[in-house]
Amino acid sequence: MAKPLALTSGEPAGIGADITLKAWLRRADIKLPAFYWLGDAASLDRRAKALGLAVPVAEVAPEEASEAFARALPVVATGHAATARPGQPDDNSAGTALASIRQAVKDVTAGRASAVVTNPIAKNVLYRTGFRHPGHTEYLAELAATKNSTPQPVMLLWSPALAVVPVTIHVSLREALAQLSSELIASTARIVASGLKSHFGIARPRLAVSGLNPHAGEDGSLGTEEKTIVAPAVELLRSEGLDVRGPLPADTMFHEAARRSYDCAICMYHDQALIPVKTLAFEDAVNVTLGLPFIRTSPDHGTAFDIAGTGKANPSSLIAALQLAARMAAA
């Protein structure tokens, strides 16, 4: 029997519990891979009852989750009670969310789970308790660090319609410009190419690299970063045998015909990558972290405090994240 996926609780006041419950209810219809929820069983049971969902909850050990999955939603306790009400984070929210993430990483590292799938967190809630990472991606890299090295996490947003990677991630636009370098572009592209080969079965990934400025700098008249930063990275990658082209104007990279010409778009900053993928695939895009020593996926949306506990949350992106994690683990 395949090892289950470790699914974190996410922010207790958000929609993580809602979409987890809804996803489990569809397990037979869509052949959902077995997973267990890391968190407080009592809080999940309360949310199920509040939503009027007939979901039995069973507290189990990770090794028992796959067998229990057909009859009940397996929960592996983290020892942190979740007391927050829907839409109302409280003093326990941050500790509960972070404990769930830490335990998921421990479980997959120890071989008790095949991959980590994370429910959404509220970074502003974490920041108030001293959390110093820009987001999930960077925190997972720290958890995966060894005495000798810290992995470079790469955020891939994947959907059947489009796959994109931002070179700079959760930083301001000003900071993104300061961080951008040929070395960062090249190392990011290498990790993407390796991940597409090993986890997605693409023998020779085709990467399209965007420019930074409008019209990719218009031959230097709208900025020189394409000539001084992006193009040297592309040339280096080509010399290493990778199928890479660019810098390309970002405004013409995402129409249907253009998308057929590459497997992944490498973009220079967060919104340059995420706006097109969220426009094309808002409900089924998946956030994948490449460059880690384990598989991690996540729904590509936030905590949605405004609809938490109302029954309106759509589990499509979580379902896609669970299915993709299982596919990557099998590969």
- Mean predicted lDDT score pLDDT of the chain: 94
Share of the chain above pLDDT 90, in %: 80
Q: What is the mean pLDDT of the segment spanning 90-99?
A: 91
Query: Residue 256's pLDDT is what?
Result: 95
CATH fold of 161-280: Isopropylmalate Dehydrogenase (3.40.718)
* 1-148+295-331 CATH: 3.40.718.10
CA distance readout (Å), 46 to 50, 54, 57, 95, 101: 6, 11, 10, 19, 21
Domain boundaries, the chain: 1-148+295-331, 161-280
Query: Residue 270's pLDDT is what?
Result: 95
Using pLDDT thresholds of 50, 70 and 90, give the confidence band for residue 1.
low
- 270 annotated to a ligand binding site: yes
Query: Closest Cα partner for 59 from 47, 45, 49?
Result: 45
Is pLDDT of 130 > 90? no
- Whether the model clears a pTM of 0.95, i.e. scores above it, the answer is no
pLDDT tens readout for residues 192-207 = 999 999 999 999 999 9
- 31 annotated to a ligand binding site: no
The domains spanning 1-148+295-331 and 161-280 adopt the same CATH topology: yes
- 133 annotated to a ligand binding site: no
- 170 annotated to a ligand binding site: yes
Phi, psi values for residue 284, rounded to 5°: -130, 10
- 215 annotated to a ligand binding site: yes
Query: Residue 134's pLDDT is what?
Result: 80
Query: Residue 2's pLDDT is what?
Result: 81
Is pLDDT of 172 > 70? yes
C-alpha to C-alpha distance for 157 and 162, rounded to whole angstroms: 8
- 80 annotated to a ligand binding site: no
Q: What is the mean pLDDT of the segment spanning 168-183?
A: 94
- Entry field: residues in the chain: 331
C-alpha to C-alpha distance for 71 and 180, rounded to whole angstroms: 50
Q: What is the mean pLDDT of the segment spanning 38-47?
A: 95
- 199 annotated to a ligand binding site: no
Query: Residue 195's pLDDT is what?
Result: 95
C-alpha to C-alpha distance for 92 and 12, rounded to whole angstroms: 9
- 301 annotated to a ligand binding site: no
